[in-house]
Chains A and B, each alone.
Chain A
Amino acid sequence: MADPEEMQEEISVQDVTDDGEKVSSIGSAEVDLSKFETDNNKNFTIQSQVPKICEEEDCCLGIDEAGRGPVLGPMVYGVSYCPLSKNDELKAMGFADSKTLTEEQREALLKSIQDASDFIGYNVQILTPSYISSCMLGRTKYSLNQVSMDSAISLLRLAIESGAKIKEVYVDTVGDASKYQAKLQALFPTLDITVTPKADSKFPIVSAASICAKVVRDRVIQSWKFKEGTVSATDNYGSGYPSDPATKRWLSENVDPIFGFPRFIRFSWSTASNILEKKAAIVEWEDDDEEEVAKGSASLLSFFAPKNFDSRKKKHQFFEESGLTQLTTF
């Protein structure tokens, strides 16, 4: 009879969609994005196995993000965690801020994180450009800071719910550090939370989280399947940062007059909307002037019936509510 623990070890990476559906995949040094690629407009969460030691000992957890600034591609959030007792082993792995490392170094470090699956666990969430755009351009504004914090909170919650004994949390700040800290502390009163700028260079566990996030973002971008089919990921769109001339050129050359851009682009970025204003058809939405209308008060005249008003000519309420009017021309 097979030992159940041994069987569990073979399954080292688990993919969990946002619907909570679990799919197991075998292999340690790879990031399986096949499930995500079936619908790359939808957010997706990758979850590692929780190391047994993390269920038994107090752990520290780091939170960081990759791809906050670019006008294209997803923003990826990552958390990683390990027992406090393994701090020396963690330091010895040579983590640093993911931005100061080369792509090869980051890939190698993710491999070593995955090889250390006996004491390091991680969760990564891919927030798609479609999701980011629709949040920021929604009827009620949902800011990027809010989106970021909610993603961080959901990943921390996921780590706790999957059984890791989290004690200390280190977070790279989004906006004002003290406000963010107070918010997290209120949600997780029993945790010891530190929110600080540049946390990824101060705490190895945050560096590990930033490497997980950055490698996943790079992989997603490299293998992005354009459903629009008009462009391919091999096209040179530069770094994706709005300040990059290659990115700007690519955006201006790939405008569709009606639809604007493929959904790989964050429509909510001013770089994107400025180009659309110049090169695409103007689009008017029903809620465009909602804010202005709400500000102003109704004209005094609107309280009186117009001079020639004949109430007998007034249409039945049904027609008004259905938006039906009679036409004599078109």
Chain B
Amino acid sequence: MHRISGPARLSGRIVRNYPVPVSAVINMSVHVTSNSAFSSAASVHLLPCTILSNGPAKVDVFFTSNTQEDEVGLVSAFRGRELRGQTVFIPDGYKGIVLQELNRPFTEDQDRNVRISAKFNEFTYWNLQTPPSSQDKVTSALQWANLSSVIHAPVSDDDQDNSPTSIEFSR
């Protein structure tokens, strides 16, 4: 069990191993439970819409069964609208986790109990009609992981003499 409790000053830092910045504010604790049975890999889809509902969904029955692949990439639909998708991998050194909060407290200063219910190393990123590209926010945001590790890496005397470290962008 990881316990991240306040008054910690984690704000403003992306905690390694968690793509979602897990941080805490003063007077509130967040308990993240990692169940050993959570090894189940989740298949995660990021849709270009907000579904105002929280709970299980018959993804395989309605969505995966209708997903096809063509020359451009993955193609599917949600609520009658065409979606174009691609598989996105979680950057090295990071992990994708699905957090579940069974009881959300009524006030902001109460402790929060969050459980890791599944993990993932890749997810499918869907766009409305247009195929995903490197210009999209999601792909761009994931480059930060790579960028961050380069700019935060310690600089030795040798490095200063040599040419700058190259940064690889995924295209």
Contact = CB atoms under 8 A, between A and B. Distances in A.
A267 B61 contact: no
Nearest to A324: B141
25 contacts: A39-B68, A133-B80, A134-B82, A134-B129, A227-B65, A230-B61, A256-B58, A258-B57, A258-B58, A259-B78, A259-B79, A263-B66, A267-B80, A281-B53, A284-B50, A285-B48, A287-B128, A318-B144, A323-B138, A327-B11, A327-B20, A327-B21, A328-B25, A329-B25, A330-B20
Contact of A327 (B23, B58, B65, B144): B23
Nearest to A286: B48
Contact of B137 (A266, A268, A321): A321
Nearest to A132: B80
Contacts of A258: 51, 53, 57-58, 62
A326 interface: yes
A229 B65 contact: yes
Interface in B1-37: 11-12, 20-25, 28, 30
Nearest to B147: A318
A108 interface: no
A284 B81 CA distance: 12
A323 B62 CA distance: 30
Interface in A126-141: 130, 133-134, 136-139
A283 B79 contact: yes
Contacts, number: 120
B49 A326 contact: no
Contacts of A328: 11, 23-25
A282 interface: yes
A322 interface: yes
Contact of A228 (B50, B62, B81): B62
Query: Which bucket holds chain A's interface residue count?
Result: 35 or more
B63 interface: yes
| 4 tightest A-B CB contacts, nearest first | A267-B80, A133-B80, A281-B53, A259-B62
A319 B144 CA distance: 9
A268 B48 contact: no
A139 B49 CA distance: 13
B140 interface: yes
Q: Is the interface of A mostly helix, strand, loop or mixed?
A: loop
B21 A267 contact: no
Given A227-B65, A323-B141, 19 more contacts: A41-B66, A134-B80, A138-B129, A139-B129, A227-B66, A230-B61, A258-B51, A258-B58, A263-B77, A266-B80, A267-B81, A268-B80, A281-B52, A283-B79, A285-B81, A318-B144, A318-B147, A322-B144, A323-B137
Contacts of B51: 258, 281-283
Nearest to B20: A330
Interface string B54-91: 00011001110110100000000111111000000000
B146 interface: no
A267 B11 CA distance: 44
Given A257-B53, A258-B53, A133 B77 contact: yes
Interface string B34-50: 00000000000000111
Contact of A285 (B30, B66, B128): B128
A287 B144 CA distance: 27
